[in-house]
Structure 1
Amino acid sequence: MRLVVVSAGLSVPSSTRLLGDRLAAVAAPAATAPDPAPADVRVIELRDLAVEIAHTFTNGFPGRALADAFDAVAEADGLIVVTPVFSASYSGLFKSFFDALSVTDEEALAGKPVLIAATGGTARHSLVLDHALRPLFAHLKAVVVPTGVYAASEDWGAEGLDGRVTRAAGELAALMAGLSTARPLPKRDSFEEVTPFEERLAALRPTG
C-alpha cells in the first residue's frame, strides 16, 4: 500500500508540510489495519521541483526528479495534497505541478483517492477547499474524500484540528483499503460465450 503526500510549502520548516505529515501519520496505519505495518509513505516537496516544473512547460518533457515524482503519484494507492493559500486559492507551484502531470498523463489521477488540505494565516480562507481544490481534483477525475482539512495559524494546538485530521485521514484510509481489496468483475473472452435467449427459452420448454 503506497501513500504519497504532495506538499507545496515553501518555507523550512513549513506548516504545509507539517499538516501533510499529521494526516499521513493517521492515514498510513489505518489504511492497512488490522495489519500492524503501515502503508509506505513518500513525501514530495514541490519547492525542490520548481525549476523542473517550469522547464516542463517550455520543452514538453519532465526532468528526472519530476518524472520520478509523477510516477510516484500515478502509482500511489492514495494521495494527500496540501497547499498554502495565496490570493484566496492554491499556490501557483501547486497548480503547475498538477497541470504538468495532466499534460504528461491525463489519466494519472483517474479514480485515485485524494485528501485535500490547505494552510493559511486566517480562517477566512477555509473555503479554498471547496471553491478551488475540490473542483480541481474533480476535473482530474480523482475521488476526493468528503472531509477536507484547512489549518489557519490559530488552529495549531486547538482541539478542532485533531478531530478534522482524524476524520479526513480515516476517510482516505477507507477508500484506499476498499480499492486495494476490490476484485474486477470476470471478463468474457468473446460474445459467443453468451447463451442466446432463444436457446435458454427452449431449454425451459417441456419435452416429450
Structure 2
Amino acid sequence: MITVWGGQTSRSIRVVWLLEEMGLPYRIRQVDMLAPERDPEFLVVNPADYIPAIQDGDVVMVESIAIMAYLMARYGPTPLAPDPHDPNFAAYQQFLHLGEAGLATLLMPVVVSRFLAPEAERKNWGATWCLGAFQKRLKLVNQRLASSPYLAGEEFTAADISVSYALNLGQRNCGITLGEAEQAYLARTTGRDAYKRAMMRSHDGINA
C-alpha cells in the first residue's frame, strides 16, 4: 500500500490525483504544516519537513514531480506518460517540469509573503518579481493551448496534473487572473472524475 503524506491544498494533490488516474491503491496521512509541532513519524520520512512524501514498501520519496515520474515508471505503462518516441514527448517533458520548476516554485515567495510575513513586508521586491516571472512563463502555457487542448497534445497527461496545480495555486493564493484559454483548460482538467475523487479523499483523509 502506498502512503501519501500531505494535505488537500498542497502539492500532494498532484500525487493523489495521479494515483486516482492510474487506479492504484493508497492511503493518506494528513500533515498540518501550520501546526506548532510536526508528527514525529512524518519527520522520520522527510526530516526536511515539507510535503508531499510517499512510502511505497522500502521506497521513500519526496518532491511531487519526482514521485509522479516514479509511480508512472514503476506501475506503468500509462497513457499519462507518452512514450519517448511519441511526437508529443518533448512537450510532455517540458510542461511536466515547468509546472513546478517554472511556475509553482515562483509562487512560494508570494504565498509566504502574503500569509506569513509582517504587513509591511507582504508586497516585497522578491515576491513582486516572482509574480512577474510567473506571468511571463504562463505565456508558454497559453501558446501551447492555442494549438492543443492539453499540454502534450490531444490527450490528458501527467504534465496537465503538474501545471493545473500551479494554475490553481496562482488563482487561489496569489491573485493571478487567468485568461479564457487557461480557465477553459482548468475546467477540462479539474472536471475529471479522478481529480474530484482526489480532492474529496485528500480533504477527508479517506483511504482509497
TM-score above 0.5, yes or no = no
Structure number, greater radius of gyration = 1
> TM-score normalized by structure 1?
0.33
* Higher RCO (CA-CA < 8 Å; seq separation 6+): 2
Where is the strand percentage greater, Structure 1 or Structure 2? Answer: 1
> TM-score normalized by structure 2?
0.33
